Structures are given as C-alpha cells and as structure tokens.
C-alpha cells in the first residue's frame, strides 16, 4: 500500500517539476519535494515494520535452535535492595560477599 502512495507522490512531483521554468528549478523541486519525502516515508515505514518484527521474534538473542540461555542461579550472593543498592553501587561493593 505504501508503495502506491510513494509512486503517486513521485509522479505528481515529476509533473510539477516538468512544468517548472528552468531545469535547475525542476530538479530541485523533484529531489526536494519528491525524492527526499518519499525516501523518508519509506524509511519510517520499513523501520517500524522491522521493529515490530523484532518484537515478535521468538529467538531474540539469536541463539542457535531458538534455545534461550539458562537462567543464572539466584540467591548465591546477597543482593542489596532499594537505597542499599544505590549506596552499594557507589561504594563498589555490588556482587561482593558480605564482610
């Protein structure tokens, strides 16, 4: 559907450029008013489509065979919570065993 709109837009801009007084003016109208907006429209639509495809990807990490990496064991290191976590990060003691 978007291709029809872009081709129609380029055709209209080509006709406007052909009716212009000079070659430079016609080229600048066609490039500035036709090619650049058409490219931007196609780029935005394909970018949106690609990000939507990435969201639906069942294998987001690209692991072979669609296998997700195993979960890391939890509870092996006492992790601070809330304000304690902020102060632990500032002190550089995140992931260090309690002393």
Instruction: Quote the number of domains for the chain.
Output: 1
pLDDT, one tens digit per residue, over 30-54 is 999 999 998 998 888 888 777 766 6
Residue 52's SS3 state is: helix
Q: Is residue 17 part of a domain?
A: yes
When pLDDT is averaged across residues 56-71 and rounded to a whole number, the result is: 59
Output the pLDDT for position 45: 86
Contact predicate 45/2, CB 8 Å: yes
When pLDDT is averaged across residues 89-97 and rounded to a whole number, the result is: 59
Q: Is residue 41 part of a domain?
A: yes
Q: Is residue 85 part of a domain?
A: no
Output the pLDDT for position 47: 84
- Statement: residue 94 has pLDDT above 60: no
Output the pLDDT for position 2: 79
φ and ψ of 29, to 5 deg? -65, -45
Q: Is residue 77 part of a domain?
A: no
User: Please, where are the H alpha helices in the chain?
Assistant: 2-18, 23-30, 36-55, 83-91
Q: Is residue 10 part of a domain?
A: yes
When pLDDT is averaged across residues 50-75 and rounded to a whole number, the result is: 61
- Residue given tokens 């064991």 in the structure block: 73
Q: Is residue 97 part of a domain?
A: no
User: By residue range, what is the domain housing residue 26?
Assistant: 2-50
Q: Is residue 99 part of a domain?
A: no
Q: Is residue 6 part of a domain?
A: yes
């Amino acid at each position: 559907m978007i291709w029809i709109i872009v081709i129609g837009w380029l055709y209209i801009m080509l006709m406007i450029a052909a009716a212009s007084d000079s070659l430079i003016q016609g080229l600048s109208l066609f490039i500035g008013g036709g090619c650049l907006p058409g490219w931007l429209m196609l780029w935005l639509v394909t970018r949106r489509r690609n990000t939507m495809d990435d969201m639906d990807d069942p294998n987001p990490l690209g692991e072979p065979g669609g296998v997700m990496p195993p979960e890391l064991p939890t509870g092996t290191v006492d992790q601070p919570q809330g304000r304690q976590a902020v102060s632990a990060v500032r002190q550089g003691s995140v992931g260090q065993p309690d002393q």
